[in-house]
Chains A and B, each alone.
Chain A
């Protein structure tokens, strides 16, 4: 966008302590009045040396650290890691483990998207959706707590199995929740998604064209919001996702150009419904079995390297592990979806208004723990 910036350009430092930078992100805004000439993200305030740390810990010990990357979707974070190690070691898991993992991952996806939608409403100035979303997320966290004792950072997926089997009656509770939750999505749409002001604020803002998105390596709902139908669960299935019947929603530009903030937002809402479908099928497929059956006594993968990608709520999560045959990985590299989308932020937000910068940032749904690692 060509904007003639007359007058003085003021530097506005947004963050790291700011209500809507979603954590400790610092944005350096060059503002001309209300218009933002440039928005430079500065990351690293939550850097914890995860990758270096992983070289000094044995394989099972890394799982809790993966939880802390994307703390809104810890189940998906550890799932990607354990799948990578299992692929490296050639471990086969039984059907029960597989279905429980899928149920947990999809429940966590719903929880994560609920946070995304709720905080996005908050960014746009509507506080009520935030609490409605958190109310529903609470039930999911209760289910997790009942299963593994933790509400946020689970350490539940183990290499070759699970920490515990689910409690009796878990299946019914999950189905009850889905039955309750699916109509709630409609309520959220009435309150927020189709609200005239909300649409006006988001539908023509922050256009991320499919070309730009692909060039920057954007994945997940942000890419699908731009109309590109790419989902690792469909295109490179793992855990037997190919047996499940679900759609991959993409942004269609219902209220404006494709790839707007509204498209990215609504893709998440639609994905939540697809996750509900997957959970119903996974519960139906659940067979009795021992979740500790194939857990190795000693995790010592052979020499080699592996790249495993999974579809985390925020996009394609990749783990690249190099093993030299020891109990610790030689190198662990994470390809995090939020980091790649953050690199496109500057291009998307240039020339918008201050309020739009917040709208764009919120629509990317970043989690700083995963960007900085």
Chain B
């Protein structure tokens, strides 16, 4: 945000604007920038998902729209969704039904505020950054329950309840896994966490010690569940619940759920990158790949894409768990492991 504020200073007569406008405009501008980047990233991710799934399944995926490997396919799909009729079924709770997709999206989008894409490319460096992400990320549960309840459809209700139970359960191991990083860093700020991992791959938390390595695994699994990806996609289990909580949604509102899903996917990948893979820092500092060639944000995106690729790979290879197995995994496997990890990291911090 500081860099955007500095850029805005270049506008003639900017300093003559009233004080509150000068405080507000950089916030709005950086939000718009993040939103635009996010929308672009989602478009790309949807295309990537289709390509990855296609090649796993021995197909080609989109090949026509836009020319080269159907790069404009998602653009066309997004346009189609925008132009579709806005259907609100007769028996739904209209207010909640209309609000739900935006709340789900808000939860995903608001967390991007503290995600550091580069050394200076972030909206805000909150001193409680990671806590804020965990807190705001849970907002989407409210939206999902709202959607499930307001749709007045039993499948939606099931989907909403499953999603709520799942996301809340997996929040605990994921928060515990995040603790394994916070304890050695001693700060909740995302920027501080990245700075603590500067100096190449050996300083990343994934390779720092076995506890943080396992912490990464636990976080990755829990984050898969939090964003409802296979093998934890039971809230929208197509073969059981038709489409779960967004069964009744179509057109633009459905697009927002879709956007939120991929935004969340990118978010958890971004958080994992920041916490465990050194964020925007170079893999090998001062090496033949000069920092000028690969600036921080690009390194960040590449690392996040790697994690997203693994997410997609899992999605198109694994079957789905059952509800009780999902809960078992969270409460009886991941939670004890994450407690041990926090304990181990704590001991290291005290006695090392």
Contact = CB atoms under 8 A, between A and B. Distances in A.
B239 A131 contact: no
B209 interface: no
Contacts of A354: 158, 240-241
Interface in B288-336: 316-325
Contacts, number: 83
B202 interface: no
Contact of A125 (B155, B158, B242, B320): B320
Interface in A318-355: 353-355
Interface string B43-63: 000000000010011110000
A151 interface: no
Given A125-B231, A195-B318, A19 B239 contact: yes
Given A123-B239, A355-B234, A197 B317 contact: no
B77 interface: no
A164 interface: no
Nearest to A33: B161
Contact of B57 (A131, A192, A358): A131
A126 B317 contact: yes
Given A127-B57, A132-B57, A358 B240 contact: yes
B154 interface: yes
B58 A135 contact: yes
Contacts of A232: none
Nearest to A130: B57
State which size class the interface on A falls in. Answer: 20 to 34
A125 B315 CA distance: 9
B56 A355 contact: no
B323 A353 contact: yes
B233 interface: yes
Contacts of B323: 34, 353, 355
B237 interface: yes
Interface in B14-62: 53, 56-59
A122 B325 CA distance: 18
A124 B230 CA distance: 11
A236 B319 CA distance: 39
A124 B325 contact: no
Interface in B191-248: 230-231, 233-234, 237-242
A14 to B, nearest CB: 9
Contacts of B242: 18-19
Contacts of B239: 19-20, 122-125, 358, 362
Interface string A352-370: 0111101000100000000
Given A125-B233, A355-B237, A195 B319 contact: yes
A126 B318 CA distance: 6
Interface string B132-165: 0000000000000000000000110010000000
A191 B238 contact: no
Given A19-B238, A125-B239, A192 B154 contact: no
Contacts of A34: 158, 323-324
Given A10-B154, A18-B242, A125 B58 contact: no
A356 B234 CA distance: 13
- Closest 7 pairs between A and B when the two form their complex, measured CB to CB: A125-B320, A20-B239, A126-B319, A131-B57, A124-B319, A125-B319, A355-B322
7 contacts: A122-B239, A125-B319, A126-B319, A201-B325, A354-B240, A354-B241, A362-B239
Given A132-B57, A355-B322, 12 more contacts: A19-B242, A123-B239, A125-B230, A125-B237, A125-B238, A128-B57, A131-B57, A197-B231, A197-B319, A201-B320, A201-B322, A354-B240
